[in-house]
């Protein structure tokens, strides 16, 4: 059933002190996970997202940058987080923390869901730069406008409820 289902299964079977997530399509370099997990290893933070937009890096697709910017901005407004790349596919968590959070989404809704659920627990997310090599749809990229619409619905569903105001 997609990415969210695979992530849920992987988390459920994980046993490590740190759980790292990377999409299987290799748009992200697996070696960059070392930088993503480092702040957790050092005890600096509990959650790290790799950002394609730190250090002047960016997705070569203007459309993807614009949609990601919109989704990340809305996510920040609804959760109180201050991210540059909520939709990143490089994420790392303290193992016990991620295993304690029930995940519902089956496809690409994992990103807004986990971001909202972390915000509801008042857990800050640290970002580090990560590399990115975009694939074309001819090369097998699967995300579509429907996934963008689903992400918008997930942002609303998993916004930091109760205490959260919609900050713009």
User: Model confidence over 4-27: pLDDT tens digits?
Assistant: 788 899 999 999 999 999 987 778
Q: Using an 8 Å Cβ cutoff, are 113 and 154 in contact?
A: yes
**Does residue 64 carry a pLDDT above 80?**
no
First to last CA, the chain: 34
pTM here is 0.85
What are the backbone angles phi and psi of residue 116, rounded to the nearest 5°? -65, -40
DSSP 12-71: HH--SSEEEEE-TT-SS-GGGHHHHHHHHHTTS-SEEEEESSGGG---S-HHHHHHHHHH
Of the two residues 157 and 168, the one the predictor is more confident about is 157
**Does residue 166 carry a pLDDT above 50?**
no
User: What confidence category does residue 139 fall into, taking pLDDT thresholds of 50, 70 and 90?
Assistant: low
User: Model confidence over 66-119: pLDDT tens digits?
Assistant: 888 899 999 999 999 999 999 898 999 999 999 999 998 877 788 999 999 999
Whole-number Å distance between alpha carbons of 84 and 93: 18
User: What is the reported pLDDT for 132?
Assistant: 78
User: What confidence category does residue 163 fall into, taking pLDDT thresholds of 50, 70 and 90?
Assistant: very low
User: What is the reported pLDDT for 27?
Assistant: 82
> Which of 1, 14, 3, 5 is CA-nearest to residue 92?
14
User: What confidence category does residue 57 fall into, taking pLDDT thresholds of 50, 70 and 90?
Assistant: low
């Amino acid at each position: 059933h997609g990415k969210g289902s695979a992530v849920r299964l992987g988390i459920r079977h994980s046993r490590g002190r740190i759980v790292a997530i990377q999409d299987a399509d290799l748009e992200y370099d697996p070696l960059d996970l070392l930088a993503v997990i480092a702040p957790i290893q050092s005890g600096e933070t509990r959650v790290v997202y790799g950002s394609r937009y730190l250090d002047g890096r960016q997705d070569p697709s203007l459309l993807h940058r614009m949609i990601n910017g919109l989704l990340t901005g809305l996510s920040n407004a609804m959760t109180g987080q201050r991210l540059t790349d909520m939709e990143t596919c490089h994420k790392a968590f303290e193992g016990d923390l991620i295993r304690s959070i029930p995940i519902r989404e089956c496809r690409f809704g994992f990103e807004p869901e986990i971001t909202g659920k972390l915000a509801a627990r008042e857990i800050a997310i640290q970002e580090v730069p990560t590399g990115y090599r975009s694939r074309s749809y001819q090369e097998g990229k699967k995300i579509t406008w429907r996934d963008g619409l689903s992400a918008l619905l997930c942002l609303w569903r998993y916004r930091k409820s109760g205490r959260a105001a919609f900050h713009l």
